[in-house]
Each structure stands twice: as C-alpha cells, then as structure tokens.
DNA sequence: AAGATCTGAGAAAGCGTTTTCTCAAACCGT
DNA sequence: ACGGTTTGAGAAAACGCTTTCTCAGATCTT
C-alpha cells in the first residue's frame, strides 16, 4: 500500500494538469523558452516547485538526443595520473553542467575498445586514455567514437588530442643529471607497450646522440610502485649513478628499495621520477621529477570536448603540454 | 554531404526491415528472449552483426525504466580514500554490467544534496560519501535517494551503510603509543564538521577514561597534507611525544614539516596516520597507521546496492569495517 | 475596417526501445 | 476432423520528455 501510494514520480503531465496548461507549455517553461506569457510561466513554475517536479533525465535524453554526460575511459583508476586527469575533466565538465561516466578498463587493454564504445553510446562523447592500446587498434577505434578527445595518444583520426611531451621531459631530466656530473645513466623503463614509454625512449635517444660522453642503459621496469621496487637490484648492478625512473610511482618503489639496501639517495645515486604526483614532494628525499600538469590536461580535455559538442572551432586540436622539471632532494652531484 | 550520408545510426528498425521481421522480434532476440524460432533468431543476429547494430541505451533506459548505472558522490576526487572506494565500487559494479557516474562535490557540502539528487535521477541508485554533510541534511536527503548506500555515515533511514570503526582504530593507535611508553599524546584533529572525526574523538574519549595516567591534547588540524604541514608548530608546542594525526595525508604533511624542523621521527616523537593509503608505506620513516580497507568498502557498497536493486535480501544492512593497525617505522619507544 | 502579421499555447509527432496485446497458424487429444 | 491449447511473431501501446506543426486570437497595417 505504502509503496503504491508514495511512488510513481511526478511527471510533466501532473504539472500540466495541475497548472491547467499543456505538456508543451510546461516543457517550454522548464527549459526557459520565453514564448510563454509571464503569468502562465509563473503559475507553471509555482506548481512545479509545489509538486517538486524534476524532469526525468532519461526522457529528456531520448527526446533531445543527448545526455549531458561524457565518458572518460582510463586504464586504471588506481593510477594517480589518471585520477588527476579524471578529476580535471570532471570538475571542468561539471562547470558546464555535464556529468562524467567512468570506465575503468582495469589495464585490460582488450576491454578498452569495448568499454569505450559502450561509453560512447551512453554518452555524448568520450575522453580516451588508452596508453597501452596498439596504434592499429586505436586507429580503427577512434573514428567510431566521435566526438572523441584523446589523452596522451595521437592517431590519423582528426580528433583533438592532449599530449605530454615525455620526450622533452626525460631529456630535461637527463640533462639535469648530466649537469650534476653523472655520466653513467640508467633508465628504468615503463611497460613495453606503453605509448608514453616509447616517447621517453625516443627522447633519450636524441639526448644520447647529443651527449657522446654519456653512457645510458635501458633496464626493464614497469609502471607501478612494485615494479620500481623490484628493479632495484638491476639498477644497482648497472653501476649507473643517475637513475631515470619511468614515473614517480616506480621512482618511489625504487627509492624505498634503495633505502632498504642502505644506498643513499642522492649521495650514492641520484634518482628522478616523472609526473610530479601529489606525493612526490614528500618522499625522503623528495623526488626530483618532471611535472605533468595532469589537472590541466583534464580540464583542457573538457574544453576540447565542449568545443566538439557545440561544434565551435577547436582553437588547437593538438595541445601538447611541456613537463617542467622540478628539482628536489633526490638528485645531487655525482659521487667521485 | 559526407556528414549526412554517414550518420543516422543503425536502429532496431533497420535490422527488423533487413531481416524481414518486426521490431518486437529483433528486440526479443537482442534480449535473449527464447520465444523466437531458432532460425529467425539466427537470421536476426546475423543481420545485427552485419549492420553492427547496437541498441541505443537511451531508448532502452526509457523503455525499461532503468539505466544500469549508479551514481557515486564523493566530496573530493583528489582524496585517496575516496578514490579507492570509487575504484572498488566501479570495478565491482562493472562485473555486474553496471556503470558508474561520478559526482565530485568539490568539498562544497551545499552542493552535495543537489548533486546526489541529480545523480539519483540519472541513475538507478546512489552511493553517497558525504562526510561533511550535517546529520539533519542527511536525514532529510536520504529518503529521497533510494536505492541508497551510505559510506561512512548512518542515519535513521533504513538504507544500508558501510562504516569504518574509526573510534576503535584510533583507540588501537593510542594504545600502541601508550604501549611504547608515551604518556603525553596529541591528536591533530580533522575538520570540525567531519563525521569520522567525531568518531575518532569519541574513541579517544573512551580511551582516555580507561587510561587515567595518559594526557591527551586535541589540536585543531584538518584533512589535507597542507593542514598537517601547518599543524607542526602547534604539535611541537604541545610537548606531546605521541602524535595521532587525523589521517595519513595530514600525518605525511606533519612528518615532512617535522623533518624540516630537524625533529626525528620516531626518536623524538612518534607519529601515526589513519587509512593506510597506498603511499603510507613509503614515507621515511614508513607510517604506522590504521588500515582502512577502502577497496573492500567500495566493493561491498556495490554488493549492497546490487541487493537493493534486485531487491534481494540484504544480509547485513550495516556493515562495519574494523581498521587494523599496521605498525611501521614512524612510531617507536617514548624518549626518556 | 478588412486583410496581413504576430503571438502564444495546444495537439501531435517524434526519440529508440521494450513489452503487453492480439491473433493466426500449428499442434493436441479424442 | 473439430474444438481447445500452445507457440511464435506482428501491431501497437507505453516510457517521459522535446519540438514541430497548427491555429485561434491579438496586434498591426494602410
């Protein structure tokens, strides 16, 4: 009884009836259409608030052919970088009355396409962060996802993209180490299929050709704290004194492993991270890293998406963000 | 031209027409309704894949009166704890084919009600994390949000809730410090309007009445890294040797400020955090803290929500998670 | 003051599905 | 072979809005 009585949400027709107008008029009033006489509009509004009428979004969505929602697909909600991007997108989108549907592919890249497609169908557009997806798959997927904004990826598809110049960043970090006198460097690499890792490797390659006196070893690594921790022995075995970690997470893992082994950072070896996640400033020693403005990336991703949705001109369809290095305590002069 | 030609997505009627059947039959096939003859079903399926037909979710949502989406409202997407809860919810929900819409109230608690209501309208249910909302507001809001699952809050509303026994956790931490010989404790408190802070305070109160010989000062604090950092002077001025920080973030901020001041942790003062966020294990010294299984909280929140949605029995409508303390290097014997 | 132009609001046609009705054809028992 | 069940699929009615179409009445024209 209680159930049947309370329920059945108040709909537009209830308002129309009670206000003595047609559905169309209620709709017009609710949508701020000014072709309704002021007094009628007022009456409708009064009834609407009295009945606490809230338009059913699903109905609206269907009628308007849009959902005021965008999908954000991330490889891992546990990754601080994507968390920050997501946060940036979410806040910026919220400013414009849009909501965000998240799709966490759990690093299972085979899921990414499916998730992205599903998100696209449910939403007005998709912001895609798919660092592990192959170029081929991305090329095939992208055209089916419009409106689409790519984060840290580019492809032949004309969708706007936001990218970080990882190559530049890693070079700056390497230069910083070399400036400190390090001549034996090691890069604890990221996952093999990571697009941003490829960018770093390319950057290092150009760096090395410009610095013949410097030696660089590429060591297998990963992207997580644990990967960094596990790479400690290989890093030490390399004999390098300047260590470039794939990102802050691996740098932190490595740092902790080095601490455990009694290796002093930065006295014995210097260590750099990448991303400048929130916690990088609070390790001991604090991490020298290349700061990626992930929040901005997220925010701009929304800007681009908004332009796409309104089909306004996209000022710059390929925004690239330059990381800037922040020097903290984890790097110091090379030991003699 | 190109535009007009490509677009207009393939709908159920295209499939119906091409397969020579009615819309209803296509719908039945797509939904696995077995009242369709095998050969027809096969033909429909073939046409569907040929045309790459994917049902429009908005249409389905309207017809079915559900969206297969739940909303998660969090106070701040930048907060590691909520990130983890969100992740837990998202993954668990994804397993069951549900998606997650996020609503970040940006710590503006006046927005929370509105966001939550909006999320509820767009989704089939809401998981609400609203640590700062007043009890009164929550009591008023909760009944309008069903199906609702509350995280770290309870109210008269019969919605299931997942709570963490912060009172127990802080007592365990305090006991740990006392066991180490600390008799002068300080609690760097959380935000005044934080529900979980109140729980901690209550826990401390019962702890104190059971430990007459121990002295405890309550210091104003906050919930962020910066708050912790800023509280350093007050903490030192208190003369306490055992410091209970509101959470890991403030503990980390405090730790870093203590380092800056040359105060040795744990030789000079012992410090505890709360939550056991991912990074707590990697500070120097690593943080002694009370581990909150946030991922589980998220996962169980989904379980409860699922039960609500299927209106299955809710085994236990008020799950309380006991934090377990993990002792690391930030706590040690009281200095003599 | 008669025709032309505006205005404002109702009627009705979508939006893309699902699901209830309906009903012909196939099947059953006797 | 004939009424009584099943079965299977189409027609049509939701679902809750927005928006186009329409058209009566009010407002201008000259």
| Other C-beta atoms lying within 10 Å of the C-beta of residue A49 | 10
- Percentage of chain B exceeding pLDDT 70: 98
Of A54, A137, A242, A218, which is closest to residue B117 (Cα–Cα)?
A54
Partner residue opposite B284 with nearest CB, options A121, A279, A283: A283
Residue-wise pLDDT for A154-163, tens only, equals 999 999 999 9
* List of chain A residues whose C-beta atoms are within 8 Å of the C-beta of residue B78: 83-84, 87, 278
Answer yes or no: are the C-beta atoms of B204 and B187 closer than 8 Å: yes
> Which is it for strands B125-129 and A125-129: parallel, antiparallel or unpaired?
unpaired
- DSSP letters along B143-210, please? GGS-SEEEES---SS---EEEE-HHHHHHHHHHHHHHTT--EEEEE---TT-HHHHHHHHHHHHHHHH
Residue-wise pLDDT for A248-290, tens only, equals 999 999 999 998 899 999 999 999 999 999 999 988 899 999 9
Cross-chain Cβ contact A282/B283 below 8 Å = yes
* List of chain A residues whose C-beta atoms are within 8 Å of the C-beta of residue B100: 101-102
Angle of CA points B62, A99, A23, to nearest 5°: 40
Residue B336 has pLDDT above 90, yes or no: no
Instruction: For residue B28, name the pLDDT band (cuts at 50, 70, 90).
Output: very high
Q: Give, for A187, the enclosing helix (H) or strand (E).
A: strand A184-188
Mean pLDDT of B26-46: 90
CA dihedral B252, B258, B262, B267 (to 10 degrees): -80
Cα(B20)–Cα(B68) distance, integer angstroms:
30
Partner residue opposite A103 with nearest CB, options B61, B67, B99: B99
Cα(B104)–Cα(A88) distance, integer angstroms:
11
Mean pLDDT of B245-267: 94
Cα(B173)–Cα(B186) distance, integer angstroms:
12
3-state class (DSSP) for residue A184? strand
Answer yes or no: are the C-beta atoms of A168 and A310 closer than 8 Å: no
Residue-wise pLDDT for A29-83, tens only, equals 999 888 888 889 999 999 999 999 999 999 999 999 999 999 999 999 999 999 9
Name the burial class of residue A31, with classes exposed (0-12), middle (13-18) and buried (19+) by CB atoms within 10 angstroms of its CB: exposed
* List of chain B residues whose C-beta atoms are within 8 Å of the C-beta of residue A84: 78
pLDDT at residue A317, as a whole number: 87
pLDDT at residue B75, as a whole number: 93
Answer yes or no: are the C-beta atoms of B88 and B149 closer than 8 Å: no
In total, chain A counts a number of residues equal to: 336
Residue A2 has pLDDT above 70, yes or no: no
Mean pLDDT of B234-248: 96
Cross-chain Cβ contact A252/B279 below 8 Å = yes
Is the Cα dihedral A252, A256, A259, A263 positive or negative?
Answer: negative
First-to-last CA distance in chain B?
A: 84
Residue-wise pLDDT for B271-289, tens only, equals 999 999 999 998 889 999 9
Helices (H) and strands (E) in chain B, counts: 14, 12
- Report H helices in chain A: 2-6, 12-19, 23-30, 38-51, 57-64, 80-95, 109-122, 135-141, 166-179, 195-210, 225-230, 232-237, 248-260, 294-309
Cross-chain Cβ contact A58/B78 below 8 Å = no
Cα(B258)–Cα(A309) distance, integer angstroms:
49
Residue B18 has pLDDT above 60, yes or no: yes
In chain A, what are the domains? 2-55 (1.10.260.40), 65-160+294-316 (3.40.50.2300), 166-293 (3.40.50.2300)
pLDDT at residue B106, as a whole number: 83
Answer yes or no: are the C-beta atoms of B251 and B186 closer than 8 Å: no
Residue B3 has pLDDT above 50, yes or no: no
Q: What is the CA radius of gyration of chain B?
A: 26
| Partner A contacted by B87 (CB < 8 A) | yes
* List of chain A residues whose C-beta atoms are within 8 Å of the C-beta of residue B94: 103-104, 106
Whole-number Å distance, CA A94 to C1' D17?
23
pLDDT at residue B8, as a whole number: 66
Task: List beta partners, residue B186.
Answer: B217, B243
pLDDT at residue A8, as a whole number: 66
Angle between helices A38-51 and A12-19 (to 10 degrees): 130
Instruction: For residue B135, name the pLDDT band (cuts at 50, 70, 90).
Output: very high
Answer yes or no: are the C-beta atoms of B245 and B271 closer than 8 Å: yes
| Partner A contacted by B30 (CB < 8 A) | no
pLDDT at residue B185, as a whole number: 97
pLDDT at residue A108, as a whole number: 81
Partner residue opposite A284 with nearest CB, options B104, B106, B284: B284
Cα(A50)–Cα(A42) distance, integer angstroms:
12
Cross-chain Cβ contact B225/A282 below 8 Å = yes
Cα(B72)–Cα(A139) distance, integer angstroms:
32
Cross-chain Cβ contact A101/B99 below 8 Å = yes
Name the burial class of residue A3, with classes exposed (0-12), middle (13-18) and buried (19+) by CB atoms within 10 angstroms of its CB: exposed
| Partner A contacted by B106 (CB < 8 A) | yes
Query: Which chain B residue has its CA at the smallest distance from A69's CA?
Result: B101
Cross-chain Cβ contact A225/B282 below 8 Å = yes
Whole-number Å distance, CA B221 to C1' D13?
61
Mean pLDDT of A311-327: 91
Residue A107 has pLDDT above 50, yes or no: yes
Residue B2 has pLDDT above 60, yes or no: no
Residue-wise pLDDT for A4-22, tens only, equals 333 568 999 999 999 999 9
Cα(B263)–Cα(A285) distance, integer angstroms:
15
Is the Cα dihedral B65, B70, B72, B78 positive or negative?
Answer: negative
What distance separates the 2 farthest-apart alpha carbons in chain A? 89
Residue A164 has pLDDT above 50, yes or no: yes
Mean pLDDT (chain B) is 93
* List of chain B residues whose C-beta atoms are within 8 Å of the C-beta of residue A86: 77, 102
Cross-chain Cβ contact B225/A278 below 8 Å = yes
Helix, strand, coil percent values for chain B (each to nearest 5): 50, 15, 35
- Percentage of chain A exceeding pLDDT 70: 98
- How many contacts, defined by CB atoms under 8 Å, are there between A and B? 113
Best to test chain B binding among A95, A158, A282 (most B CBs inside 10 Å): A282
Residue-wise pLDDT for B319-331, tens only, equals 999 999 999 999 9
Angle of CA points A274, A137, A313, to nearest 5°: 75
| Distance in Å, alpha carbon of B90 to nearest chain A alpha carbon | 7
* Closest nt by CA–C1' to B60: C17
Cα(A132)–Cα(A137) distance, integer angstroms:
10
């Amino acid at each position: 009884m209680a159930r049947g009585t309370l329920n059945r949400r108040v709909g537009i027709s209830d308002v129309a009836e009670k206000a003595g107008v047609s559905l169309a008029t209620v709709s017009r009033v609710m949508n701020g259409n000014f072709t309704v006489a002021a007094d009628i509009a007022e009456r409708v509004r009064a009834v609407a608030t009295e009945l606490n009428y809230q338009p059913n979004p699903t109905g609206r969505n269907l009628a308007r052919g849009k959902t005021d929602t965008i999908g954000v697909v991330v490889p891992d909600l546990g990754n601080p970088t994507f968390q920050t991007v997501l946060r940036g997108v979410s806040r910026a989108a919220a400013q414009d009355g849009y909501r965000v549907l998240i799709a966490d592919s759990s690093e299972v890249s085979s899921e990414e396409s499916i998730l992205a497609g599903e998100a696209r169908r449910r939403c007005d557009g998709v912001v895609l962060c798919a660092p592990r997806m192959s170029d081929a798959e991305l090329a095939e997927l992208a055209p089916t996802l419009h409106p689409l904004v790519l984060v840290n990826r580019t492809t032949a598809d004309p969708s706007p993209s936001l990218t970080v110049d990882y190559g530049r960043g890693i070079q700056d970090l390497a230069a910083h180490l070399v400036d400190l006198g390090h001549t034996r460097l090691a890069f604890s690499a990221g996952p093999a299929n990571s697009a941003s890792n490829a960018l770093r490797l390319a950057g290092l390659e150009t760096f090395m050709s410009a610095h013949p006196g410097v030696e660089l070893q590429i060591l297998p690594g990963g992207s997580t704290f644990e990967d960094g921790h596990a790479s400690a022995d290989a890093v030490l075995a390399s004999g390098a004194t300047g260590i470039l970690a794939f990102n802050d997470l691996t740098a932190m893992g490595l740092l902790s492993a080095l601490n455990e082994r009694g290796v002093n950072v930065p006295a014995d070896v210097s260590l750099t991270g990448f991303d400048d996640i929130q916690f990088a400033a609070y390790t001991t020693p604090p991490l020298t890293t290349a700061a990626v403005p992930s929040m901005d990336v997220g925010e701009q991703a929304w800007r681009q998406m908004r332009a796409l949705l309104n089909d306004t001109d996209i000022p710059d369809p390929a925004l690239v963000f330059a990381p800037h290095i922040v020097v903290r305590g984890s790097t110091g002069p090379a030991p003699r």
